[in-house]
């Protein structure tokens, strides 16, 4: 059912020759490209200085384990934030879809919420929460900056993700709800068993896309002083007058993001194949 | 549940925006009676059926099903809908669920039956309608005729006493129409009360106890099928049937 279409070529490799020829051409041109770029950089007048401050092997070896340990905090932050966002954003999206005049206040609240938190820069939300909330000196309010950093990320990203959910919910044809209601299901049951399962499946790729953004943005929490990968890199780089730790930190963020990016691509491709193979509207 | 079955519609009005689709429908269907609604597209057949299942709020009039006025204030619409099965032109099966799950959704969630009991009943029904092999398949894998038969079984699974069929063969390839109509004939033999909107005049003629011709949002003429199809009294009915015959549909 998924016979490869001979007319369609790989988007990455391109070309009109046989697959093997295509691959060789791609390989050679990639090598040539990289060599040219490398030669340009290495022969630049300031290369020796840049190499010393950004690509310092000794500095890298020393700071790698420190940054790696600090990066665990980023991983912890985004894992917790992602779980909370999945739930909280769904609540916002459902609130926004409630029908009838009775629910106007909830709808208005949901709209106000998404408008506000999509508009404010994430770093501002984290600043205000991280320095403001503990400053209230209320008993029971946590003073750990990491907690408030995660709260800030959840608030901001839930606004984006709730819109993704909403797009999914609105893409389900009203006849599906009619069919569910005609069986005697309540509106909530129709949502729970018929609409949401289909809607969520449709929005998984854009949803994961937002999560890739979130994983990077955990670095913003370092403005509150918590020692994540970026902050650790800051510390080492300030102590040693060397920027190599930043590249180490960047390496970790990229490494953790790539698998999710490829997984998202794979899901999108699978969805497209499925729809083309099915062909039934 | 009242002992007295059937459906009574009185003075039903329904508008969409400024278009009045139903302009005073009066219809009564006795228990075990099969009534076919015929008429051009836009004459109000589908809207009437959707109103009876409370899928559309009505503007005026009343609807009584099995002795209960379902358009009264404070009626539990979910309970009412369980007692009325509706089958749509476009099947509207749930694409993310297997055939078995499509059929058990109503009994489990609306009737509150335990999973085992709901599945046992669903298996019986699916087997009776020749769908035993398809229980674990997803709707996309079925032919149109099979999908529509599943939709009928799904509507029957909540044990309704009244079935509403909304042009259920209009979206099917011609060779698949017969298998679906055969199912409906079976239901009629079992004594199911049904209101059927249809363009299949031959079928209406065979199965209906009474045929209603809708035109411009009212029932312009009704009577036994022989009379409607062979000696219609109204000009509009004659014109409609002439067009149907010209199109080779009868």
A232-273 pLDDT per residue, tens: 988 988 888 888 899 999 999 999 888 888 888 888 788 777
Nearest chain B residue to A197 by CA: give it.
B96
Mutate to test the interface with A, among B53, B80, B89, B106 (most CBs of A within 10 A): B106
Nearest chain B residue to A179 by CA: give it.
B92
DSSP A155: H
Q: Please give, rounded to a whole number of angstroms, the shortest distance from the CA of A192 to a CA of chain B.
A: 11
Complex-level ipTM: 0.91
Q: Give the count of alpha carbons within 13 A of A152, CB side only.
A: 28
Cβ–Cβ under 8 Å, residues A182 and B53: yes
Record the pTM: 0.82
Cα-Cα end-to-end distance for chain B = 40
The three-class DSSP label of residue B136 is coil
pLDDT, position A125:
94
In whole angstroms, give the CA distance from residue B88 to residue B157.
15
Cβ–Cβ under 8 Å, residues A25 and A31: no
Non-local CB neighbours of B206 within 8 Å, separated by 6+ positions: B185, B225
Number of H helices, E strands in chain B: 9, 10
Does position A3 have pLDDT exceeding 70, yes or no? Answer: no
Q: Chain A partners of B110 at a C-beta cutoff of 8 Å?
A: 183-185, 189
Cα-Cα-Cα-Cα torsion B203, B243, B144, B103, nearest 10 degrees, comes to -60
Nearest chain A residue to B96 by CA: give it.
A198
* Domain at A30-38+58-278: CATH architecture: Orthogonal Bundle (1.10)
Record: contact A186-B106, CB cut-off 8 A: no
- Per the document, the length of chain B is 250
Query: Of B49, B81, B156, nearest to A182 (Cα)?
Result: B81
| B98, part of any domain | yes
| B106, part of any domain | yes
Cβ–Cβ under 8 Å, residues A223 and A123: yes
In whole angstroms, give the CA distance from residue B145 to residue B35.
23
Q: Chain A partners of B87 at a C-beta cutoff of 8 Å?
A: none
In whole angstroms, give the CA distance from residue A61 to residue A64.
6
Query: Of B71, B79, B186, nearest to B125 (Cα)?
Result: B186
Q: Give the count of alpha carbons within 13 A of B138, CB side only.
A: 7
Mutate to test the interface with B, among A168, A172, A179 (most CBs of B within 10 A): A179
Residue-by-residue pLDDT tens, chain B, 250 positions: 445 779 999 999 999 999 999 999 999 999 999 999 999 988 999 999 999 999 999 999 999 999 999 999 999 999 999 999 999 999 999 998 999 999 999 999 999 999 999 999 999 999 999 999 999 999 988 999 999 999 999 999 999 999 999 999 988 888 889 999 999 999 999 999 999 999 989 999 989 999 999 999 999 999 999 999 999 999 999 999 999 888 876 6
pLDDT digits (tens, 9 = 90+) for A96-152: 989 889 999 999 999 999 999 999 999 999 999 988 888 887 877 888 889 999 999
Query: Of B69, B30, B27, B75, nearest to B49 (Cα)?
Result: B27
In whole angstroms, give the CA distance from residue A90 to residue A84.
10
DSSP B234: S
Record: contact B106-A201, CB cut-off 8 A: no
Query: Of B9, B72, B81, nearest to B45 (Cα)?
Result: B9
| B209, part of any domain | yes
Cβ–Cβ under 8 Å, residues B33 and B193: yes
User: Taking the mean position of all CA atoms in its chain, how far away is CA B204?
Assistant: 13
Cβ–Cβ under 8 Å, residues B24 and B209: no
Record: contact B96-A186, CB cut-off 8 A: no
Does position A274 have pLDDT exceeding 90, yes or no? Answer: no
In whole angstroms, give the CA distance from residue B167 to residue B172.
10
Interface contact A194, partner B, CB < 8 A: yes
The count of structural domains within chain B is: 1
Residues of B with CB under 8 A from a CB of A: 50, 53, 55, 78-79, 81-82, 84-86, 88, 90, 92-96, 105-106, 109-111, 140, 154-155, 157-158
Record: contact A179-B93, CB cut-off 8 A: yes
Non-local CB neighbours of A186 within 8 Å, separated by 6+ positions: B78
Q: State the CATH number of the domain containing residue B39.
A: 3.40.50.300
Would you report the helix, strand and coil content of chain A in percent, each value rounded to 5? 80, 0, 20
Record: contact B94-A280, CB cut-off 8 A: no
| B61, part of any domain | no
| B163, part of any domain | yes
- Which residues span the domain enclosing B236? 31-56+75-246
What tokens appear for A205 in the block?
């790729």
pLDDT, position A167:
95
């Amino acid at each position: 059912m998924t016979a490869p279409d001979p007319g369609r070529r790989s988007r990455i490799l391109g070309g009109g020759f046989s697959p093997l020829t295509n691959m060789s051409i791609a390989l050679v041109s990639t090598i040539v490209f990289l060599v040219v770029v490398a030669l340009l950089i290495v022969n630049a007048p300031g290369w020796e200085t840049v190499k010393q401050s950004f690509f310092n092997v000794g500095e890298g070896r020393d700071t790698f384990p420190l940054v790696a340990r600090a990066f665990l905090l980023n991983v912890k932050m985004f894992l917790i934030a992602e779980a909370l966002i999945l739930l909280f954003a769904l609540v916002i999206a459902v609130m926004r879809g409630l029908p009838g005049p009775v629910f106007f206040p909830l709808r208005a609240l949901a709209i106000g919420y998404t408008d506000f938190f999509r508009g404010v820069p994430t770093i501002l939300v984290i600043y205000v929460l991280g320095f403001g909330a503990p400053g209230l000196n209320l008993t029971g309010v946590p003073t750990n900056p990491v907690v408030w950093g995660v709260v800030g990320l959840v608030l901001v990203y839930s606004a984006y993700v709730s819109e993704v959910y909403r797009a999914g919910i609105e893409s389900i044809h009203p006849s599906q709800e009619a069919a569910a209601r005609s069986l005697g299901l309540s509106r909530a049951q129709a949502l729970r068993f018929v609409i949401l399962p289909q809607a969520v499946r449709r929005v998984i790729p854009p949803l994961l896309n937002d999560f890739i953004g979130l994983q990077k943005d955990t670095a913003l929490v370092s403005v509150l002083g918590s020692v994540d990968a970026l902050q650790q890199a800051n510390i080492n780089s300030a102590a040693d007058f060397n920027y190599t730790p930043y590249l180490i930190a960047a390496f970790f963020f990229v490494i953790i993001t790539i698998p999710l990016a490829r997984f998202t691509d794979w899901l999108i491709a699978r969805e497209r194949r499925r729809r083309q193979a099915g062909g039934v509207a | 549940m009242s002992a007295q079955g059937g459906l009574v519609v009185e003075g039903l009005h329904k508008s969409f925006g400024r278009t009045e689709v139903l302009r005073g429908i009066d219809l009564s269907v006795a228990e075990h009676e099969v009534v076919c609604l015929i008429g051009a597209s836009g004459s109000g057949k589908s809207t009437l059926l959707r109103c009876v299942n409370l899928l559309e709020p009505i503007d005026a009039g009343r609807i009584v099903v099995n002795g209960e006025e379902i358009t009264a204030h404070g009626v539990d619409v979910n309970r009412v809908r369980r007692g009325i099965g509706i089958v749509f032109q476009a099947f509207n099966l749930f694409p993310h669920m297997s055939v078995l799950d499509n059929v058990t959704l109503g009994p489990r969630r609306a009737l509150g039956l335990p999973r085992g009991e709901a599945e046992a009943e669903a298996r019986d029904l699916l087997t009776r309608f020749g769908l035993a092999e398809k229980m674990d398949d997803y709707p996309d894998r079925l032919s149109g005729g099979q999908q529509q038969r599943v939709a009928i079984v799904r509507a029957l699974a909540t044990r309704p006493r009244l079935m509403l069929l909304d042009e259920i063969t209009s979206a099917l390839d011609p060779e698949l129409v017969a298998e679906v109509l055969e199912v409906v004939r079976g239901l009629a033999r079992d004594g199911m009360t049904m209101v059927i909107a249809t363009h299949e005049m031959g079928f209406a003629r065979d199965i209906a106890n009474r045929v209603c011709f809708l035109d411009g949002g009212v029932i312009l003429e009704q009577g036994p099928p022989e009379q409607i199809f062979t000696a219609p009294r109204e000009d509009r009915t004659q014109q409609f049937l002439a067009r149907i015959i010209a199109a080779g549909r009868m």
